[in-house]
Amino acid sequence: MRTLRVFLALLFLLALAGCVSVAKVETGEHAVGERMSVTLDSAWNKISAPGQGPEESWTMEGMWVDKLLFYSGIKNDQLMHAEPRAVGSATPPKSYRFRSGMQPDEIVSMFEGMLTRDGSRFTLVKLEPAAFGGLKGFHFEYTLVRKLDNVQLSGLGYGAVSKGELFAIVYMAPRLEFYPRYSPRVEQLCRTALIRDGPAVAKR
């Protein structure tokens, strides 16, 4: 709990310093990227930070508590995370790129690699076909033990490939309190996702 408070305080201080911006995402339909939209029945907080990857990051309680990650229109060979940086002479973590020919199990393995670049431990619980965004896609569930503080997280994700581009929503939160509280909202949000052939027109 002490570690959690420290990181929440750090996030707050960074936001005040202008390094991190927080914007309220109100209920209703919202565009995420150019071709995907979702409809919200509750408000979220959108987090933006310098140097972040291609994902759009939302949270209910703060990014160190729960994360809702959107990957919208990720193109072939595009890096799935922020550019790796070596510290001193240290070797940067392995990079992960989306390939348009990937199958669902390969995409989930890519997410596993991304989520464990810091040494956290990932376990896949379920992977199955599922409709997503009006397309034939996939759904997966997983657990993650965060290396820094050994917090046990539960997570879920939905994804689909359209015109060679990846669209996905991935959520994670501590398994004993916050995941049971918010995962039903995330499931409902994922069911509203719509992937269009052209640019989405919903507000952002």
The pLDDT of residue 89 is above 60: no
Domains defined for the chain, CATH in brackets: 22-83+96-195 (3.40.1000.10)
Report how far residue 30's alpha carbon sits from residue 40's, in angstroms, rounded to the nearest whole number: 8
Question: Is residue 80's pLDDT more than 70?
Answer: yes
Q: What is the dihedral of CA 117, 25, 13, 64, to 10 degrees?
A: -30
Longest dimension (CA), the chain: 48
What is the residue-averaged pLDDT of the chain? 88
Of 69-78, 86-95, 104-113, 166-175, minimum mean pLDDT range: 86-95
Share of the chain above pLDDT 70, in %: 84
Contacts of 178 (CB under 8 A, 6+ apart): 60, 61, 65, 66
Alpha helices in the chain (DSSP H): 2-16, 104-115, 178-191
Q: What is the mean pLDDT of residues 93-102?
A: 94
Q: Which of these, 43, 46, 44, lies nearest to 21 by C-alpha position?
A: 46
Residue 15 has pLDDT above 50, yes or no: no
What confidence tier does 71 reach under pLDDT thresholds 50, 70, 90?
very high
> Which residues partner with 190 through β-bridges?
none
Query: 185 to each of 57, 135, 145, 190, how far by Cα in Å?
Result: 16, 21, 23, 9
Say if residue 59's pLDDT is above 80: yes
**pLDDT tens across 113-168, in order?**
999 999 999 999 999 999 999 999 999 999 999 998 999 999 999 999 999 999 99
Is 29 buried (19+), middle (13-18) or exposed (0-12) by CB count in 10 A? middle
pLDDT at 102 over 90: yes
> Which of 63-67, 156-160, 167-171, 178-182 has the lowest average pLDDT?
63-67
